[in-house]
Structure 1
Amino acid sequence: MGGTIAMVPGGRGGVVPALDAGELIAAVPGLAGLGLEITARGLRSLPSPSIGFGDLVALADAVKAEIAGGARGVVVTHGTDTIEETAIFLDLTVPGPAPVVVTGAMRAPTSAGADGPANLYAAIRVAAAEEARGLGALVVMSDEVHGARFVRKGHTSSMAAFVSPGFGPLGLVVEGEPRLRGTPRVPMSLAASDKVAGLRVGLITVALGDDGEILRRAGEVCDGIVLAGLGAGHVPADMVPVVAEVAGRVPVVLASRTGSGSVLRQTYGYPGSERDLLDRGLVHAGFLDPAKARVLLLLLLADGADKERITAAFEHYR
């Protein structure tokens, strides 16, 4: 799909996507000794901030076609900025036990200490591992194996940027061998419909002193909204009327901006607390971070889900 792993210096400074899938495979030592039949194909060559949901629909279709054609597993190379959204999209739209592993790089191939070849080697080993079957979509970076539901990019530039807050990785790659202790994927499969590209789901982050005006305006143009609340799922009291108004018109999912932990349900009872907001019809995101909650909400809306089904889906998947 592009990303730093496939970038080379551009004519105007900085690096840009340029390498194709075959070139990436050719740069990884040790693959010939694995006894695997590896095929390579290019789908996109983009920096990951420019990947859209239409691209992810095409990616999900391509992954399902490879699996239907007999692939034991699929590895997707991708830019790291939005790798977590792509991983959860694939987790929700590619059914079956075959491993789908997303990987990338924090340093371009021309950088000192480039990590792309090592990450790609580890990802291929995981995709071929029997223990990875049934775990859903995975992200493999720096010899760690993360589940799609919980992985996040937690640093702008560190080689150890990827973490799963509160849960940790599902396994490690040790001397090239996957050591997995994975939990089976949540049984949920949604269509990778072209309708996702025509929907608008907003992600609004609440801040100190927020009066809700940005949320109000977003509610006028969005089909659904994820509200990244303060702490365990809270908003300022002055914002509550706007939240209630918008939630009466479009689905509003309550997540937390903290980066770790679940939205609470019944600890706090003041205006703008999690109890207050859930009583006003917001949908509980559980452990899903705001970006992942947005992907799930968008896929549900594209599938025609009503408020009751959206609530049930978040209860099931979180």
Structure 2
Amino acid sequence: MGTTRVALLGTGGTIASASGADGQLIARRSVAELLDGCNVPAGISVEPAVDLDRINSWDMDPRRMWRLAARIQEVLAEPEVAGIVITHGTDTLEETAFAVDLVTAADKPVVFASAMRSADSTSADGPRNLSNAVAAAASPELRGLGVLVHASDELHAARWVRKVHTHHVDAFSSPTFGPVATIGPAGRLRLVHRRTARWTPAWPLDPDVQVVAMTPYTGFTPGLVRAVIEHTGARGLVLEGFGLGNLPGNLTSVVGDLTERGVLVVIASRVMAGGTFPVYGGDGGGVGLESVGAVFAGGLSAAKARLLLMCCLPGASTAEARARLVDALDVLDGGFQVAR
């Protein structure tokens, strides 16, 4: 049997972090150093291994995300490359993975690897996570599943995965859906879901298109929304609502005013599982919000809904962007089935 080739792109994060003389953690280590510290599975070679960035993931932004996606497409176009691993910080990993999943079309495995403990920790989780991610990227069983996030011997779909703990090693989960695949003893993969549909924008992207996300709270002042839209000139707004996607009652008229002005308004939920549905009537209820033009984000978080909306707005009127968004949400809310 020949050697399977996997590429590795580094962006920094805790997996690459170590303490300095002042005791503070900073992303210092290259992907070459990370590879030296982990067990690359037999029969797999990792090349190229390239550092694109060495940043903490709270500094990740859409421009970097689109650039990363373009580089992934470029690398995966090489016939010899079976799959690719991206190292990334955990704070915004779910957003970058989702953005990459939206805008890359390759069927080869794309696997994000991270760590909750620094590279110089006595119980670092990075080496095992990286080793598992490399094995997953080399696996033909994972072709066609889209972008995956490895965490604690599980592989999660980018569209579903969420960071659910600030410091535990098992910090990632996919509420409602669970992992796409699991990794058992001796690295044995068990496929849980198969992907049946995907959505990819068929038009050029603009990382500078302005979309704002806000989280209303009890007693929220509606003028804050108006002020933010006026200040930023945003074409899109994502509101993180309560429960099924309800908002303080005084926001219904604001949402209606914004949609009449051509701002595309999307309602997500601050609850991790279950998704949004227009069920309740009355001011602030989902039925009323839908009637004044709001679109419900389904199972997407507010952060992911913002990225999806950014993908739908370029070069489109509000009506065209809305149609794109509704089509994308229809695909993304399904698109997987239980593996047999």
Where do 5+ consecutive residues of structure 1 fail to align? none
User: Secondary structure at the residue paired with 1:302?
Assistant: coil
Where do 5+ consecutive residues of structure 2 fail to align? 1-10, 334-340
TM-score, length basis structure 1: 0.94
1:278 matched to 2:290 = yes
> Which residue in the other structure is 2:50 paired with?
41
CA distance in 2, matches of 1:124, 1:185: 24
> Which residue in the other structure is 2:68 paired with?
59
> Which residue in the other structure is 2:37 paired with?
27
CA distance in 1, matches of 2:167, 2:196: 29
TM-score, length basis structure 2: 0.88
CA distance in 1, matches of 2:177, 2:37: 33
Whose strand proportion is higher, 1 or 2?
2
Q: Which amino acid aligns with 1:82?
A: T
> Which residue in the other structure is 1:111 paired with?
121
How far has the Cα of 1:194 moved from its partner?
A: 6.0
Q: Which amino acid aligns with 1:35?
A: G
How far has the Cα of 1:193 moved from its partner?
A: 5.0
117 and 207 in structure 1: CA distance in 2 versus 1, 3 angstrom threshold: same
State which drifts further: 221-230 or 153-162. 221-230
1:287 matched to 2:296 = no
Cα deviation per residue 1:220-248 (whole Å; 9 max; x = unaligned)?
22221111111111111122211211222
1:254 matched to 2:267 = yes
CA distance in 1, matches of 2:78, 2:116: 32
> Which residue in the other structure is 1:157 paired with?
167
Q: How does 1:138-177 map to 2 (within 5 A)?
A: 138-175=148-185, 176-177=187-188
1:178 matched to 2:189 = yes
1:125 matched to 2:159 = no
CA distance in 1, matches of 2:212, 2:202: 20
How far has the Cα of 1:272 moved from its partner?
A: 1.1
How far has the Cα of 1:185 moved from its partner?
A: 5.6
How far has the Cα of 1:303 moved from its partner?
A: 5.3
Tell me how many residue pairs correspond in the alignment: 314
1:188 matched to 2:226 = no
192 and 73 in structure 1: CA distance in 2 versus 1, 3 angstrom threshold: farther
CA distance in 2, matches of 1:193, 1:117: 37
Q: How does 1:65-76 map to 2 (within 5 A)?
A: 65-70=74-79, 71-76=81-86
1:233 matched to 2:218 = no
Q: Is the 8 A contact 2:148 2:158 kept in 1?
A: yes
CA distance in 1, matches of 2:215, 2:76: 38
Q: Which amino acid aligns with 1:38?
A: V
79 and 256 in structure 1: CA distance in 2 versus 1, 3 angstrom threshold: same
> Which residue in the other structure is 1:14 paired with?
24
Q: Is the 8 A contact 1:72 1:99 kept in 2?
A: yes
How far has the Cα of 1:11 moved from its partner?
A: 4.0
CA RMSD across the alignment: 1.6
CA distance in 1, matches of 2:197, 2:301: 16
User: Secondary structure at the residue paired with 2:82?
Assistant: coil
> Which residue in the other structure is 1:214 paired with?
224
CA distance in 2, matches of 1:46, 1:79: 8
